[in-house]
Amino acid sequence: MSKQREIKTVGLIGSGMIGGTVARLAIAAGYDVVLSNSRGPETLADLVKELGQHACAGSPSEAAAAGDVVVVTVPLRAYNSVPVAPLQGKLVIDTNNYYPHRDGHFAELDNASTTVSELLQKHLPTAKVVKVFNNIYFKHLLALARPTGAADRTALPLAGDDAEAKALITAFLDRLGYDVVDAGTLADSWRFERDMPAYAVPYFDKSGAAPAAGVPNGAPADVAAIRAALAAAPSRSAS
């Protein structure tokens, strides 16, 4: 599997705040990226120009087909629009969170019978879905990347059902500039979603520095900090 899964190209289904940030980090780490959104590749021309020769744009199906790893970063309400056929057997990163005011209500999420990433995994039955990037503000994600071994390196929580897929994404994240805390399976991924202790707040600067645009400035959160935040998650209950 490892040889087949060598990551050279990152496909992005969704190229907004998180998608665009992951694309920037990926190019800085030496990957090629294929961007897509729901409005057509022509709407991504400025971003492609900014990112340079290692970036191009296509349709969601083209980004899915091109990527050795494919980042699905669309609103939850649109997850059923993610193309299934080109993602068969592929590594898929899910960045999503459930925001009922944006997405409408999903009964299976409200009653805590499944998780956001399990919904995507059910939609993509042969893909290897790994949850990451959903718990950090996009500006912090860009600013906190550090080289391997840096004393102030930040960690991201990760969840997935396939051990080798998690290992490959862990190596990918290392190149992007992040350590990883394994939070368990997709069924455990709620522990770093909206309103949980590991969501956003661990990366906030608590020194009293002035916030930018209402969001505190970013500050590193190491493996120990993220493990502690995950451990502090209350028992899951229906909302």
Considering the segment(s) 9-231 as one domain, its CATH architecture is 3-Layer(aba) Sandwich (3.40)
- For the chain, domain boundaries: 9-231
Task: Give yes or no for a contact between 136 and 194, defined as CB atoms under 8 angstroms apart.
Answer: no
As a whole number, mean pLDDT of residues 146-164 equals 97
CA 157, CA 72: separation in Å to the nearest integer? 17
Instruction: Please give the sequence-ordered ranges of beta strands (E in DSSP) within the chain, or none if there are none.
Output: 9-13, 32-35, 55-57, 69-72, 91-94, 128-131, 155-160, 179-182
Mean pLDDT of 101-115: 96
pLDDT band for 212, please (50, 70, 90 cuts). low
Return the higher-pLDDT residue of 2 and 151: 151
pLDDT tens per residue, range 168-205: 999 999 999 999 999 999 999 999 999 999 999 999 99
CA distances to 57, 107, 114, 128, 153 from 168, rounded to whole Å, are 25, 33, 25, 11, 19
Average pLDDT score over residue span 206-221: 81
pLDDT value at position 3? 43
User: By three-state DSSP, how is residue 35 classified?
Assistant: strand
Confidence of residue 1 (pLDDT cuts 50, 70, 90): very low
Residue 72 CB coordination number (10 Å): 27
